[in-house]
Structure 1
Amino acid sequence: MQEDFLHYIWQHQYFSKTNLTTTDGAALQVLRIGYYNTDAGPDFREALMRIGEVEWSGSVEVHLQASDWHRHQHQLDEKYDQVVLHVVWEADVPVYRMDGTLVPVLVLKGRVDLALLQTYERLLYAKDAVPCAAFWPAVPHITKTLMLERALVERLAAKGEEVLQTLQRYSNDWEQTAYHTLLRGFGFKANQQAFEELAKALPLSVVRRHQQNVLQLETLLFGQAGFLEEAQDAYAAQLLKEYRFLSHKYDLVPKAMQRHRWNFLRMRPANFPTVRLSQLAAILHQQQAFFSKLLEAQTVKQYEVLFQAPVSAYWQEHYLLGKPGKGLQKSMGKSSVQNLIINVAVPLLAAYASYSDNRLYLEKAVSLLEELKEASNKITRHYEDLGWQAKSAADNQAALSLYKRYCAPVNCMHCAIGNKVMKQSSSAA
């Protein structure tokens, strides 16, 4: 059993109230359960109890064992002096506040419906990737739909928060933040960390001075990425010569990366980081004031244009420096563009919605996801196997969030679907 189960039991009052007493025999009446607290301090605040003939207003703390009070050092924390009821599964020891007064205790063991406990244990120890898989068909469609919508909003909020943390590091410079987010997105999965390092190794302030010249952009990107250590052909030699001048001018060498930081393993040539760098140079050249354009765009097509620009002539015929290739795309492919909209444009819009307190940008982010189609993956197929079908990228992103936040960590007590499963199983509900 985990503590969140007892939180759930208390929050929904799914236990027998017959002859309810504290461990010392005082009659107990729950007048107000309190508000669930996710910050430091007792679990439920502003609760109201009648113990014996006296009404007590304060907090409720929940533990599996009463001795967890001591294990968590609550007896040394004045925040817990306001606890008026200690709710436990088992009362193994008496507990006291800092001032030495005894904390009243309610024991839940023996008061919880056996069916509810069995359902909880089935969820907790389920071997399925989705713990409630066996119960899924019995859960109303509206419950699943609303939970997926909530999971999507939570995912957007989390991604937006990551952007806001980046914004703070860059002193509220949105263009620099967008540049960092763009480069991170260009790494996709295999080279995300390397591209993020490149964003730090090559500041936007330097890039801005050379956005009119694609060759100089390629020089800066390939040079700081560590790909110009040896000149393989005339083009690379030209970049190396230019890089020596620019790196000295801007004191870039101390920040330059090593080539081994980049991953080429098990990649198609079109996805090589060298190809991605050439595509990035083209976009930086074409989409100056990138963040402003991102806010102004209205349609999926306009967002697609933000991430599409023809690469230079050299990179239309090469996938590595000094190594020609055939059949290369002249600009970013459709699936890659969509990936960038999902992982660059959408988080930036979500972050700006929070920053500006303007929900219209969040609605724009959601609308983009609803208009895009996204291929299923290993995680979303878990839900497809249960009969759920994604109709858009919004559905896929919602399923990813549901799995990572609730299913994988077996966080069923905080999931509306898990709550419904529990409620359906208990006569106490």
Structure 2
Amino acid sequence: MRENFLHYVWKLKKFQINNLKTTAGAEVLISKVGEHNFNTGPDFFNAQLKIDGQLWAGNVEIHVKSSDWFLHNHERDKAYDNVILHVVWEHDIDVFRKDNTVIPTLQLKDFVLPKMIKKYKQLFSKERKWINCENEFASIDSFILSNWLERLYFERLESKSKLIEQLLAESKNDWERVLFIMLTKNFGLKVNGEAFFSLAKSFDFAIIRKLQRNQNQLEALLIGQANLLESPVEDGYYRNLVKEFRFMKQKFNLDNQQVLPIQFFRLRPLNFPTIRLSQLAGLYHQHQNLFSKIMALESIDDFYEVFKISTSTYWNTHYTFQKTSRKSSKKYLSKSFIDLILVNTIIPIRFLYNKQKGAHSDSSIIKLASQIKSEENHIIDAFNKLKKVSKTSMDSQALIQLKKAYCDKNNCLKCVVGNQLLSE
């Protein structure tokens, strides 16, 4: 038996509340179970109970066994002086107040229905499973699950916005700079995301503003800061970038020693950092005041149009500086890549921006996220095998939140799915 299950049972009154009696036989009537306390101190504050005909107002402490009171040294803590009821699963010892009167104890196992205990044990069985409810997940009502996924999606946006808030504080609310840093991180994908993040933070965004009219200079800045202009290469374009970067390094006092190493290993050529940095340079060359433009867009097609950018012409015949490749058309950002940008950068930034303005944007966020296809990864595939549930990016992001914040942490009692299973 786990203490969090007892919190769940008490908070939601998942027990027979009629004819409740303490271990001493006193009648217990519950007016208010109290406010759940997630910090130090008693588990529930400001409960209102009538015990043996007398009205009590105070706190409720919950344990698996009564003796846990002493195991946790509550008898030495003044914060527990106002406990009016000790709720336990198993009563094994009396607990006394400082005036030597016994704190009334309610033994919950006498009042929880066996059916619920059985379901609880099934949910948290030691049987090795991908998620605790994998055998029952398909049975959850689609309407209930859909509403829960919507809530989870906004939980994930809240989680993602923490890094954005940190960057805003560092940049004194420069939304353009924050957008650039987050976009750069996104352009690095999983392999180079952190390296690109360190690259974007390694210089003042004002330099991007000054160089926007010249795409080659933007490329020289980004590729040079990435430490990709350090090798001797016999190539005219490469030598030109080196020359440009050396001039900028001196002019802007650039330092790239803290930029993390950039990786090419196991990447498809279109995801090579040289290609992605050239595309990023193209984006900022093509669009000034990018943040304002993005905040004004509504439809998915408008976003696709803004991000319809490609590398400079040099990369039509190259993926790296060291080798010429067969000529291909301009290397544009794919729709699937733009979708990743929207999911991981644009929507979280837009969510936080509107939140800070006090604007209610839930419907517009949902509308945009619902126009983007579901992501494909091992988490989404596994959920879809249990129940075909992920159709849009909102669904897939919500399912990732569900897996990481609830399933992996055994937070089934805080999950609507877990609650539904226990309530059936």
TM score, norm. by length of structure 2: 0.91
Match of 2:255 in 1: 253
- Distance in 1 separating the partners of 2:99 and 2:267: 65
1:338 to 1:98, Cα distance in 2 relative to 1, 3 A:
farther
2:199–2:256 contact (8 Å) kept in structure 1 = no
Does residue 1:153 correspond to 2:154, yes or no? Answer: yes
5 Å-filtered alignment, 1:34-183, equals 34-72=34-72, 74-75=74-75, 78-95=78-95, 103-125=103-125, 126-183=127-184
| CA distance in 1: counterparts of 2:245 and 2:258, whole angstroms | 11
Q: What stretches of structure 1 of length at least 5 have no aligned partner?
A: 425-429
User: How far 1:333 sits from its partner (Å)?
Assistant: 1.4
State which drifts further: 75-84 or 283-292: 75-84
Distance in 1, matches of 2:334 and 2:282, equals: 14
Letter in 1 for 2:241: L
Work out the CA distance in 2 between the residues paired with 1:105 and 1:380: 46
2:399 is aligned with what amino acid? A
Would the aligned equivalents of 1:123 and 1:410 in 2 still touch at CA under 8 Å? Answer: no
1:306 — aligned with what?
Answer: 306
CA drift of 1:191 comes to: 1.4
- 1:275 counterpart SS class: helix
Structure 2 equivalent of residue 267 of structure 1: 267
User: In the alignment, does 2:191 pair up with 1:208?
Assistant: no
The answer to whether the 8 Å contact 2:74/2:80 transfers is yes
The separation in 2 between residues aligned to 1:54 and 1:285, in whole angstroms, is 75
Q: 1:346 to 1:203 in 2, by over 3 A?
A: same
Say how many residue pairs are matched. 421
* Cα deviations by residue, 1:347-368 (Å, 9 ceiling, x for unpaired): 11111122111113x4322211
Aligned partners of 2:310 and 2:332 also within 8 Å: yes
| SS of residue in 1 equivalent to 2:163 | helix
One-letter amino acid matched to 1:207: I
Q: Which residue of 1 aligns with 2:421?
A: 421
Deviation at 1:300, TM superposition (A): 0.8
**Among candidates 244, 265, 285, match of residue 242 of structure 1:** 244
Question: Post-superposition shift, 1:29?
Answer: 2.0
Deviates more, 1:63-72 or 1:382-391: 63-72
Contact 1:211 1:288 in 2 (8 A): yes
Say which is worse superposed, 133-142 or 273-282, in terms of deviation.
133-142
Structure 1 residues 41, 169: CA separation in 2 closer, same or farther (over 3 Å shift)?
Answer: farther
Displacement after TM superposition at 1:80 (Å): 3.9
Q: CA separation in 1, counterparts of 2:405 and 2:273? A: 31
Paired residue for 2:286?
286
Specify whether residues 74 and 345 from structure 1 end up closer, same or farther in structure 2 by C-alpha distance, changes over 3 A only.
farther
1:129 shift after superposition: 2.0
Partner of 1:197: 198
Q: Could you tell me which amino acid in structure 2 is paired with residue 21 of structure 1?
A: K
Cα deviations across residues 397-425 of structure 1 (Å, max 9, x unaligned)?
Answer: 2222222222222211111121111011x
Q: Deviations over 1:151-187 (max 9, x none)?
A: 1121122222332232122222211111111112112
TM-fit CA distance, 1:71: 5.0
Give 1:319 shift: 1.1
Equivalent residue letter for 2:14? Y
Deviations 1:184-223 (A, max 9, x none): 2112211111111112113312222211111111111111
Q: Structure 1 residues 33, 243: closer, same or farther in 2, change over 3 A?
A: same
Distance 1:160 1:97 in 2: 46
- Is the 8 Å Cα contact of residues 231 and 240 (structure 1) preserved in structure 2? no
Q: Which residue of 2 aligns with 1:317?
A: 317
Taking only aligned residues, the RMSD between alpha carbons, in angstroms, comes to 2.5
Secondary structure of 1:47's counterpart equals strand
Q: Give secondary structure in 2 for the equivalent of 1:323.
A: coil
CA 1:275–1:8: 2 relative to 1, 3 Å: same
Q: Which has the higher contact order (CA 8 A, sep 6+)?
A: 1
2:27 aligned residue: 27
Unaligned runs of 5+ in 2: none
1:337 matched to which residue of 2? 338
Write the distance in 1 (CA, Å) between the matches of 2:101 and 2:332. 72
Aligned to 1:379, the other structure's residue is in SS state helix
TM-score of the superposed pair, with normalisation by structure 1: 0.90
